[in-house]
């Protein structure tokens, strides 16, 4: 040791101060600083994970912000009635307005400076109606002469010119298509572009309602364009005609729905699935019977639902839902969602072309940004000075809102709306998605179609996590705890160390290995021998108990494990018993399958054969058996006259088993008489990769950890307690059950919690063996998807900072918190237990 | 329930002892079963099995290796096609029959590698001596009757024994030429491509730095053009060489016919030209092998498995890249985790003032070991790959953007993620080891006038080293077996290049890599034919388990040594 101040000989040196060499002092201080800083930073870094996860997740719930409004006079107030639509382009630098006169105005979106004004649509014949496609800049004009012209409205950027001149608006109209009779003005018009052509719905001045298909073909040789037109007339019944002129006509992209609506809210819904026979299937009231006047009607992005705004300020989303009392097509429009109310009449609804956001503008100048799926209001604003909203638009990139109000003012807001679809209620509660029959918990993050809306409900995943954890704990806990009890109380000490370290080694077995075994080896095996597996579950413990009863007849060294002899023999006998029981179970399985499941277990699960009685019996039997055994154990000890035959215990046991089977049979009969059938709930169709297999293998994965910690807890119980109990004449089982176990319960509890934490977060096993189906299904034989497997599957494909990405981080955060809390409880309990057992 | 001493019977509750014992027995049984399953399957995979030829009742023949057998219940339509007396025999056996899964190989001919053959269809079972099993570089295994070995259309050897006698050196020749071609393609042509790419990037970064059309940019362009001409010439010469070697290899062909007499083709699109010898990795007459030959093939396959790259979507060939990836990642993880874990533990145990705060931190660190690994994976992706990696890309590799260099999964990020995952393990183990050093020794050291750092360095750390090592090895074992976080942070099913090679800067930390655990997942679940991949998965599993068991044993051994040392150190 290079201490600078040698300890001896001290007396001679007294009085002479020896200084520690500066190098040593410096090294000491440097080490202290380094270690303190390093240690603190490691700990901070590790705990910083939590902070990072929270930071990533937070924007999900931040909502939308509409800021930095700029407003400017755009048009004279008297001309705002002529506005067909106004919108800004994707960079929000230019905007344009199309007027009913056929004029198009181009302006700077930031300050309203007029840049261009032109007559884009000829003055004669006069345009009488107008429609706009939901995305892609398509427009259609209907004219007084009964023709329709399709076209495209676009912003066109010309490179090289000065900044102001760069963007021009462009309107190209195709040749007129004579849809109505010549001279019969088109009063209402809607259209959708489909792959084959364009589908038009028109209402003419004479009251005719037509659905037309316009197909455009180009002759390859001449380059000449020809237009094919085929029209189907729809019948408007007299009593509806009596309501006056309809105000709205809407058709969807599939072209199978046409809705004609009057200001009063009365509507006629036509089904065109069979093109030759259009049917008026339903006459819903789109004001929901409130007597209000409709202010606007528009299809939601994706055309699966229709939005209505009325004079009472209500905005409703109508879903077509299959109902027994539905229209002729079996469906009826249902007001699935009512969005936040305006204080004044809803004048305008505009939908986003990117997601399920929409804005509503009211007569008092308020603008609300909603999200249809979550039903929440993301942001609100009001134009200044207040004036009715005439037209509104969510900017193409979803980063701005542009409205024009009746006083001719244009207002442009910046919009930050990164995750409109997530709220706590959409993530965890049931959500009524478009096209669904009712509210549902659905996880479906991607799909092939463009109109698809990601459905990000975490509930099925949380449910899957709990299901997998529950079944694996159900399998692991009895085995692990009884193994720990046996190891600490009955197994010879010589074997304990070796056994324990080998079990601990199993704890580090990679879970990918277990997952592979589960999916490719165990799953087919269990599928084939499903009945035998259940029989084995019953036979192995029953066989062990029976053998225990009969053990008095066996050679003493076999059962008196701690009393000399060969202790390994006992374990070997038990292993042999387990193997033998498994063989018996396998042999018995076909017979039981015949008796209980009408010969085919899977068909029985599907509900094709047999009755629910056997399921009730099987579910009740273990409960009856355990309660009977518990009752039996509580009965007072018999008098010690020494004449009791050895067989008595075994006989009682068999009697109990028999009685429990009989009782279960009775309950089953009663249950099936009442009409109970657990099939379809707890049991159901067999899927090869299912919760049962996951339970087995994940149980196997957590057995070592539960076993080790529980065994530590049991071994920590002081021997003095055991000696005292045995000395009082208690048997070793009585000692274990009444003395050791109660003392060790906190430790065992913490072992279970640690196991629980492991199971909840285990990824690879469920990923490989659980089939990955995010369903809310109690069925033991169905697959599942857990939070952890979901992260592993979806995170590599999730776009950074997208909604899915953040939702997956939320799943990670939840897992983190669950396991952290569970482990902390376990750790605190364990520390208290340790302190207590030391004081015993 | 109690018996007197003279009447030996079971004491009260003995049956429950037996019940608890069953728990242990089941746990032991499951562990043993798993190990035996993995061992038996993993070890037997490479043993060359015999090929059987089954003659079916319709006269057709099926040749292949029996993979497994099982009992099953034939379905209705299968039974309806049978004669009456057969159906009756089924009724006698309650509708059950035996069937065999035959690995027929010849995926290019049959569109499948495996076929179930029910026993009731089989009329004869034969083991012809002239059948060969051929492992190919593509299309999986070929199995058939060997007819001839052909050079330039002329038979060199005819019949199985003659082929067996002459195939060895010829196969070695073609294989070495094939290796040479691959070497040229990968290293020489690959090197040229790398240099071309680098000069393109130089132009781009000159443009980014000095502006488009600046003198530097133009100069870089000129340099690149000159280099490109030189490289193109070199490229052409190498390609000529490759063509020459290919032509040589096209001269030797092996004529093998399946039981129906169809020649196994070179390509499915060219059914008339027989298999090229250069496509063959290994060929042997499966039913005509001595035990010694079989053992040689077995060992050779193990060597191939350990020392070569995978082929056939990872279901054949070796796992060298995965082995290397696992090793390198584990080493990098250990390098990252060891100092930080030890420093943190030293701080907690030796420097921090013990109190509620420290014990709270201790519990927190302890619990982090129980946080699911996938959570670390998500963090690694968000923080390391996208956060740090994206930052590095913007600073150092702007010319390559938007394609990421460090801003995506890679071995560095995967290692750091695993280091974070295992740092609690190391901290806890180190703390325990430090706590186990008797207080008296520290006090003795202080009493001799040593400073705290001196005490830690000379007294505490040496005693604690075995414990620290144990923790580190346990952390390595955990890290080597983790797959879930790697799936997100940089593991791929097939890495085009190792993270370590002969090109500057030799260690490519940004590269994605292969991993044994992920290999198991990938081959078992993502491959074209999981049945064909299963043997490989078992072997890989065996290897992974062996690796982790080895690490664990080392830890156990160290711990035992630590305990012994301790006993003597106690005073």
pLDDT tens digits for range A186-239: 888 888 887 777 888 888 888 888 888 888 777 667 767 677 888 888 888 888
User: What is the distance, to the nearest Å, from the Cα of residue B262 to the centroid of all Cα atoms in its chain?
Assistant: 35
Chain A contact set for B381 (CB, 8 A)? 795
Q: Tokens 């920590």: give the residue.
A: A716
- Core vs surface per residue A32-61: b (16+ CB within 10 A) or e: beebeebbbebbeebeebbebbeebbeebe
| Chain B residue with minimum CA distance to A489 | B17
Q: For an interface test with A, which of B7, B10, B402, B456 has the most A Cβ atoms less than 10 Å from its Cβ? A: B10
Residue recorded with tokens 């800067």: B505
Handedness of CA B175, B178, B182, B188 (dihedral sign): positive
Pairing of strands B252-257, B141-151: antiparallel
**Residue A15: band (very low, low, confident or very high) from pLDDT cuts 50, 70, 90:** low
Distance from CA of A552 to the nearest CA of B (A): 4
pLDDT tens, position by position, A619-642 = 888 899 999 988 887 766 554 444
Residue B388 burial (CB < 10 Å; 0-12/13-18/19+)? middle
Query: Mean pLDDT across the stretch A518-532?
Result: 87
CA distance B374 to A538: 36
Q: How many CB atoms lie within 10 A of CB A148?
A: 25
Indicate the length of chain B as a whole number.
571
Q: DSSP for B326-372?
A: HHHHHHHHHHHHHHHHHHHHHIIIIISPPSHHHHHHHHHHHHHTTS-
What is the tens place of the pLDDT at every residue in A643-702?
445 667 788 888 999 999 999 889 888 888 887 777 777 788 888 888 899 999 999 999
pLDDT, residue A815, reads 92
Output the 3-class SS for A624-657.
HHHHHHHHHHHCCCCCCCCCCCCHHHHHHHHHHH
The rounded distance, in Å, linking the Cα atoms of A579 and A778 is 31
Query: Distance between CA atoms of A487 and A295, rounded to whole angstroms?
Result: 78
**Per-residue pLDDT at A780:** 85
The reply to whether residue B9 touches residue A552, judged by beta carbons under 8 angstroms, is yes
HEC profile of B4-26:
CCCCCCCCCCHHHHHHHHHHHHH
Q: How far apart (Å, rounded) are the C-alpha atoms in residues B286 and B453?
A: 68
Among A813, A817, A791, which residue's Cα sits nearest to residue A804?
A: A791
Name the band, by pLDDT with cuts 50, 70 and 90, for residue A493.
Answer: confident
pLDDT at residue number A481: 93
Cβ–Cβ contact B315 with A under 8 A: no
In angstroms, how far apart are the furthest CA atoms of chain A? 129
> What is the C-alpha separation between B536 and A61, in angstroms, rounded?
47
Asked if A610 and A604 touch (Cβ cutoff 8 Å), the reply is: yes
Whether the CB of B3 is below 8 Å from some CB of chain A: the reply is: yes
- Across the interface, of B16, B375, B456, the residue whose CB is closest to A733 is B16
Neighbours of A675 (CB within 10 A): 7
Contact across the interface for A39 and B382, Cβ inside 8 Å: no
pLDDT score at B292:
92
**CA nearest neighbour of A268 among A241, A231, A301:** A241
Among B370, B455, B532, most A C-beta atoms within 10 A, so best to mutate, is B370
| Residue A681 DSSP SS3 | coil
Q: Which of residues 433-472 of B touch A (CB under 8 A)?
A: 445, 447-454, 456-458
| Greatest alpha-carbon span in chain B | 110
Measured distance CA(B13)–CA(B166) in Å, rounded: 74
For A452, the token pair is 């698809």
At A447 the pLDDT is 62
CA distances from A45 to A41, B284, B358 (A): 6, 58, 16
Residues in chain A within 8 Å Cβ distance of B367: 819-820, 823-824, 827
Q: So what's the ipTM on this one?
A: 0.86
For chain B, the first-to-last Cα distance in angstroms comes to: 51
Q: Directed axis angle between helix A493-507 and helix A459-489, to 10°? A: 160
Contact between B15 and A646 using a beta-carbon 8 Å cutoff: no
Which range among A161-175, A592-606, A711-725 has the greatest average pLDDT? A711-725
Nearest to B323 by CA among B545, B38, B544: B544
Rounded CA-CA distance A376/A201 in Å is 33
Three-point CA angle B372, B377, B379, nearest 5° = 100
pLDDT computed for residue B503 by the predictor: 66
Q: Between chains, do A733 and B17 touch, taking CB under 8 Å as contact?
A: yes
Please report the pLDDT score of residue A54 as a whole number: 92
Identify the CA nearest to B475 among candidates B303, B336, B272: B336
Q: Summarize the confidence of residues A766-791 as an average pLDDT.
A: 88
- How far lies A746's CA from each of A370, A758, A825, A830, in Å? 51, 18, 11, 7
Query: pLDDT higher for B146 or A253?
Result: B146
Note the pLDDT of residue B571.
Answer: 39
What residues form DSSP beta bridges with B117?
B100
Six-digit token string for A354: 């990117």
Q: How confident is the model at residue A7 (pLDDT cuts 50, 70, 90)?
A: very low
Nearest to A505 among B454, B456, B552 (CB): B552
pLDDT score, position B315: 75
Residues of B with Cβ-Cβ distance to A699 under 8 angstroms: none
Residues recorded for chain A: 840
pTM of the model: 0.86
List of chain B residues whose C-beta atoms are within 8 Å of the C-beta of residue A640 = 2, 4
B172: Cα within 13 Å, side-chain hemisphere:
3
Q: C-alpha angle with apex B542: B540 to B547, nearest 5 degrees?
A: 95
Among all chains, which residue has been given the structure tokens 């024009």?
A404
Q: List Cα–Cα distances, A807 to A62, A153, A787, A821, B477, in angstroms.
A: 13, 37, 11, 21, 31
Contacts of B95 in chain A (CB under 8 A): none
Residue B348: list chain A partners with CB under 8 A.
39, 43
Chain B residue numbers with beta carbons less than 8 Å from the beta carbon of A56 are 382
Q: Between residues 340 and 359 of chain B, which touch chain A (CB distance below 8 Å)? A: 340-341, 343-348, 350-352
User: Is the confidence at residue A613, as pLDDT, over 60?
Assistant: yes
Q: Do B2 and A637 touch (CB under 8 A)?
A: yes
Question: Is 90 exceeded by the pLDDT of residue A480?
Answer: yes
Split chain B (571 residues) into runs of 10 and give each run's mean pLDDT: 44 79 88 90 88 86 87 73 72 76 85 84 86 86 87 83 85 88 83 82 81 80 84 87 87 86 82 82 87 92 87 79 88 89 88 84 83 91 89 80 77 91 88 86 90 88 84 85 88 75 71 88 75 83 89 80 59 39
């Amino acid at each position: 040791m290079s201490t600078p101040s040698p300890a001896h000989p001290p007396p001679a040196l007294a009085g002479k101060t020896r200084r520690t060499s500066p190098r040593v002092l410096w090294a000491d201080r440097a080490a202290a600083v380094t270690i303190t800083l390093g240690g603190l930073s490691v700990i901070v870094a590790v705990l910083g994970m939590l902070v990072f996860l929270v930071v990533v997740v937070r924007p999900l719930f931040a909502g939308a912000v509409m800021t930095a409004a700029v407003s400017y006079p755009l048009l004279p107030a008297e001309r705002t009635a002529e506005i067909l639509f106004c919108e800004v382009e994707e960079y929000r630098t230019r905007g344009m307005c199309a007027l009913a006169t056929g004029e198009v105005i181009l302006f700077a979106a930031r300050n309203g400076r007029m840049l261009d004004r032109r007559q884009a649509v000829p003055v004669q014949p006069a345009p009488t109606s107008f429609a706009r496609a939901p995305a892609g800049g398509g427009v259609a004009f209907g004219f007084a002469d009964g023709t329709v012209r399709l076209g495209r409205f676009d912003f066109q950027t010309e490179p090289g010119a000065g900044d102001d001149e760069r963007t021009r608006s462009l309107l190209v109209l195709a040749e007129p298509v004579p849809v109505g009779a010549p001279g019969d003005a088109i009063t209402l018009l809607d259209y959708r572009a489909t792959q084959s052509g364009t589908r038009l719905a028109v209402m003419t001045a004479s009251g005719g309602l037509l659905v037309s298909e316009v197909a455009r073909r180009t002759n390859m040789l001449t380059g000449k364009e020809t237009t094919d037109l085929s029209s189907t007339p729809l019948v408007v019944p007299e009593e509806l005609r009596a309501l006056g002129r309809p105000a709205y006509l809407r058709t969807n992209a599939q072209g199978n729905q046409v809705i004609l609506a009057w200001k009063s809210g009365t509507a006629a819904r036509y089904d065109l699935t069979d093109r030759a026979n259009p049917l008026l299937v339903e006459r819903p009231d789109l004001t929901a019977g409130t007597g209000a006047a409709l202010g606007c009607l528009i299809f939601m992005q994706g055309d699966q639902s229709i939005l209505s705004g009325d004079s009472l300020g209500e905005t409703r989303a109508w879903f077509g839902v299959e109902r027994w009392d539905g229209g002729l097509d079996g469906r009826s429009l249902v007001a699935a969602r009512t969005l936040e109310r305006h204080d004044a009449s809803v004048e305008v609804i505009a939908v986003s072309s990117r997601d399920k956001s929409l804005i509503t503008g009211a007569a008092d100048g308020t603008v609300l940004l909603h999200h249809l799926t979550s039903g929440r209001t993301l942001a609100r604003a009001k134009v200044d000075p207040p004036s009715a909203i005439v037209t509104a638009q969510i900017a193409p990139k979803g980063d701005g809102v542009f409205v024009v109000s009746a006083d001719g003012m244009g207002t442009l807001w910046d919009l930050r709306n990164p995750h409109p679809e997530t709220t706590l209620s959409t993530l965890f509660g049931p959500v009524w998605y478009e096209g669904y029959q009712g509210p549902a918990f659905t996880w479906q993050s991607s799909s092939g179609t463009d109109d698809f809306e990601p459905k990000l409900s975490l509930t099925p995943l949380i449910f899957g996590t709990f299901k997998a954890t529950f079944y694996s704990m159900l399998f692991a806990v009895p085995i692990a705890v009884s193994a720990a009890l046996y190891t600490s109380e009955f197994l010879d000490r010589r074997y304990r160390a070796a056994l324990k370290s080998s079990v601990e080694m199993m704890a580090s077995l990679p879970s990918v290995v277990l997952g592979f075994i589960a999916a490719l080896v165990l799953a087919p095996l269990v599928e084939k021998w499903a009945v035998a597996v259940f029989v084995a579950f019953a036979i192995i413990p029953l066989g062990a108990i029976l053998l225990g009863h009969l053990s008095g007849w066996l050679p003493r060294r076999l059962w008196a494990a701690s009393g000399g002899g060969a202790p390994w023999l006992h374990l070997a006998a038990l292993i042999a018993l387990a193997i033998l029981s498994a063989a018996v179970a396998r042999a018995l399985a076909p017979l039981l399958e015949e008796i209980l499941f009408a010969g085919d277990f899977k068909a029985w699960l599907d509900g094709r054969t047999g009755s629910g009685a056997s399921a009730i019996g099987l579910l009740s039997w273990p409960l009856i058996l355990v309660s009977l055994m518990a009752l039996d154990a509580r009965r007072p000890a018999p008098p010690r006259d020494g004449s009791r035959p050895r067989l008595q215990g075994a006989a009682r046991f068999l009697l109990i088993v028999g009685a429990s089977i009989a009782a279960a049979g009775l309950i089953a009969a009663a249950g099936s008489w009442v009409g109970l059938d657990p099939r379809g709930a707890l049991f159901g169709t067999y899927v090869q990769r299912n919760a049962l297999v996951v339970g087995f293998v994940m149980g196997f994965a957590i057995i070592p950890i539960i076993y080790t910690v529980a065994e530590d807890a049991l071994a920590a119980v002081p021997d003095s307690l055991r000696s005292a109990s045995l000395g009082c004449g208690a048997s070793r089982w009585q000692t274990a059950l009444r003395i050791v176990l109660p003392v060790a319960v906190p430790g065992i509890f913490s072992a279970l919690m640690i196991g629980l934490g492991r199971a909840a977060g285990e990824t690879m096993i469920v990923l490989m063996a659980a089939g990955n189906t995010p369903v809310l299904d109690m069925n033991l034989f169905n697959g599942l998807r857990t939070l952890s497997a979901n992260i592993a599957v979806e995170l590599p494909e999730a776009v950074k900072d997208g909604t899915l990405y953040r939702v997956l981080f939320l799943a990670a955060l939840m897992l983190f918190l669950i396991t952290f809390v569970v482990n902390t409880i376990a750790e605190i309990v364990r520390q208290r237990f340790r302190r207590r057992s030391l004081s015993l | 329930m109690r018996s007197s001493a003279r009447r030996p019977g079971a004491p009260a509750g003995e049956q429950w002892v037996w019940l608890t014992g069953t728990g242990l027995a089941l746990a032991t049984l499951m562990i043993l079963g798993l190990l035996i399953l993995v061992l038996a399957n993993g070890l037997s995979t490479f043993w060359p099995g015999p090929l059987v030829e089954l003659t079916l009742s319709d006269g057709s023949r099926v040749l292949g290796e029996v993979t497994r057998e099982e009992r099953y219940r034939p379905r209705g339509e299968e039974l309806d096609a049978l004669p009456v007396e057969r159906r009756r025999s089924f009724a006698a056996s309650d509708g059950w029959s035996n069937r065999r899964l035959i690995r027929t190989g010849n995926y290019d001919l049959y569109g499948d590698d495996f076929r179930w053959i029910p026993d009731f269809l089989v009329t004869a079972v034969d083991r012809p001596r002239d059948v060969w099993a051929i492992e190919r570089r593509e299309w999986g295994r070929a199995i058939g009757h060997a007819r001839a070995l052909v050079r330039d259309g002329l038979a060199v050897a005819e019949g199985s024994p003659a082929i067996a006698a002459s195939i060895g050196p010829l196969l070695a020749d073609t294989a070495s030429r094939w290796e040479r071609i691959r070497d040229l393609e990968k290293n020489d042509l690959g090197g040229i491509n790398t240099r071309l790419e680098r000069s393109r990037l130089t132009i781009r970064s000159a443009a980014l730095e000095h502006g488009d059309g600046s003198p530097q940019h133009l100069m870089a362009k000129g340099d690149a053009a000159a280099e490109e001409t030189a490289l193109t010439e070199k490229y052409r010469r190498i390609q000529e060489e490759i063509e020459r070697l290919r032509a040589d290899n096209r001269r030797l062909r092996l004529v093998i016919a399946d039981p129906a007499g169809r020649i196994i083709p070179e390509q499915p699109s060219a059914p008339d030209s027989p298999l090229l010898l250069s496509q063959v990795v290994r060929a042997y007459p499966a039913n005509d092998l001595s035990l010694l030959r079989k053992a040689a093939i077995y060992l050779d396959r193990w060597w191939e498995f350990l020392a070569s790259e995978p082929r056939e979507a990872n279901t054949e060939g070796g796992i060298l890249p995965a082995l290397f990836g696992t090793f390198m990642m584990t080493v990098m993880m250990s390098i990252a985790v060891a100092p930080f874990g030890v420093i943190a533990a030293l701080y907690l145990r030796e420097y921090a003032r013990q109190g509620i705060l420290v014990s709270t931190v201790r519990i927190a660190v302890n619990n982090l070991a129980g946080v699911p690994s996938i959570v670390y994976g998500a963090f690694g992706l968000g923080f390391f790959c996208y956060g740090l990696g994206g930052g590095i890309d913007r600073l150092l590799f702007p010319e390559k953007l938007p394609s990421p260099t460090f801003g995506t999964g890679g071995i560095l990020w995967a290692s750091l993620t695993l280091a974070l995952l295992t740092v609690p393990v190391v901290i806890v183990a180190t703390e325990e080891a430090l706590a186990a050093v008797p207080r008296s020794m520290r006090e003795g050291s202080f009493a001799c006038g040593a400073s705290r750092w001196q005490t830690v360095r000379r007294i505490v750390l040496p005693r604690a080293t075995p414990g620290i090592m144990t923790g580190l090895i346990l952390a390595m074992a955990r890290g080597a077996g983790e797959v879930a976080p790697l799936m997100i942070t940089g593991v791929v099913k097939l890495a085009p290049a190792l993270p370590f090679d002969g090109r500057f800067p030799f260690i490519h930390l940004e590269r994605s890599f292969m991993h044994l655990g992920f290999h198991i997942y990938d081959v078992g679940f993502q491959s074209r034919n999981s049945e064909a991949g299963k043997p490989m998965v078992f072997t890989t599993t065996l290897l992974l388990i062996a690796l982790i068991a080895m690490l664990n044993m080392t830890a156990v051994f160290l711990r035992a040594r630590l305990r012994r040392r301790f006993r003597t150190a106690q005073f």
